Amino acid sequence: MQLMENFSLKSYNTFNVACIARYFSCFENEEQLQDSLDMLNMKNLLILGGGSNILFTKNFDGHVLKNECKGIAVVHEDVDFVYVKAGGGENWHQFVQYCVGRGWGGLENLSLIPGNVGAAPIQNIGAYGVEIKDILWSVEAFHLQERKIKTFSNTDCNFKYRDSVFKSKFKNQFAILSVIFQLRKTPVFSTNYGAISQELERMQVQKLSVIAIADAVINIRRSKLPDPAILGSAGSFFKNPIVEIDICQNLKNKFPEIVFFPAGKNKMKLSAGWLIEQCGWKGIRKGDAGCFDKQALVLVNYGAASGIDIMNLSMGIETSVFYKFGIRLEREVNIL
């Protein structure tokens, strides 16, 4: 295990912004994580996955620990389900492809989300009508201060829309070492969300399968979202605001075209992308920081933007959305 000092994180975050970590090391298992923690005994710690949900606005004066815990294995099977354990350092999309390739159902709608398995429970990743909470069985996590392993059941994780205990009550307290998923041997397909059925039709799919759905999702995502290898971003910068039904109705009276979806009892989820677009931000560029021209919810780095440039752009967007609609946008991206 190697400890690096004053280590550049530019290629370790998908926004591709410059940032120096005071210390950096990788761990492949619990023992290496313990050793890394002992080595410096620092309070300021950051567990890093693929860096696809982080915006660095300043250098990190602490110890960055990159999760490299690998391995995929079936740990249990019954008549209906297969239980698959994946190391926190496994690439998310490669893991999804592994399961889809074996015909196991549940992960296909979550294809092509950047990042690693260990970060997926943190914000309960979701796309195309599915969230990780729908297929997560348990999480094995290491308490960074108490130095011991705790297993969280699905219920313990207290999953909500882009939220979990790991992002709220236990923020920065645990390193997720592995996750067990409960996947269906006979898949139940979810094709009603977004443009999945149109894409399946366009692809002339005759027989529905998890592979066909994964391919459809991949095609749609490639057509709408920036590829982090080409254009820096962290995907959706803001969450879709959830409001009381009467607030949504008032907005609809004023703005009949407003886009929203049911979000539980007496709640509606507003499309943040629509709100931002209505304020004229879509495609706007301030220096090298920009609001993506195909999806206003995504902020991008055209090359040399700093974390502060992107933050400033996001604050301009938040102000105009509040001024026009009275809605406060909440950031989905972790700001550091």
Pairing of strands 20-27, 60-67: parallel
| Exposed / middle / buried, residue 153 (Cβ in 10 Å: 0-12, 13-18, 19+) | exposed
Of these, 87, 88, 105, 273, which contacts ligand FAD (CB under 6 A)?
88
Residue 81 or residue 123: which is nearer to ligand FAD going by CB? Answer: 123
Phi and psi based region of residue 183 (left: phi greater than 0; alpha: psi -120 to 50; beta: remaining): beta
**Active site (annotated) includes residue 236:** yes
Instruction: At 202, give phi and psi (nearest 5°).
Output: -60, -35
# residues contacting ligand FAD (CB under 6 A) = 34
Of these, 19, 225, 248, 251, which contacts ligand FAD (CB under 6 A)?
225
Name the active-site residue from 138, 178, 236, 306: 236
The residue assigned the tokens 């095609």 is: 219
Whole-angstrom distance, CA of residue 273 vs CA of residue 73: 38
Residue 165 or residue 317: which is nearer to ligand FAD going by CB? Answer: 165
Rounded to a whole number of angstroms, the minimum distance from the CB of residue 4 to ligand FAD is 17
Say whether residue 47 binds ligand FAD (CB under 6 A): yes
Positions 229 through 288 that interact with ligand FAD (CB under 6 A): 233-235
Say whether residue 49 binds ligand FAD (CB under 6 A): yes
Say whether residue 136 binds ligand FAD (CB under 6 A): no
Instruction: At 156, give phi and psi (nearest 5°).
Output: -60, -30
Residue 149 forms beta bridges with which residues? 142
**Active site (annotated) includes residue 162:** yes
**Active site (annotated) includes residue 285:** no
Pairing of strands 45-48, 60-67: parallel
Asked if 235 contacts 298 with a C-beta cutoff of 8 angstroms, the reply is yes
Residue 50 or residue 187: which is nearer to ligand FAD going by CB? Answer: 50
Contact footprint for ligand FAD (CB under 6 A)? 14, 46-54, 67, 88, 113-116, 118-120, 122-123, 125-127, 174-176, 225-226, 228, 233-235, 334
Task: Just list the catalytic residues.
Answer: 162, 236, 332
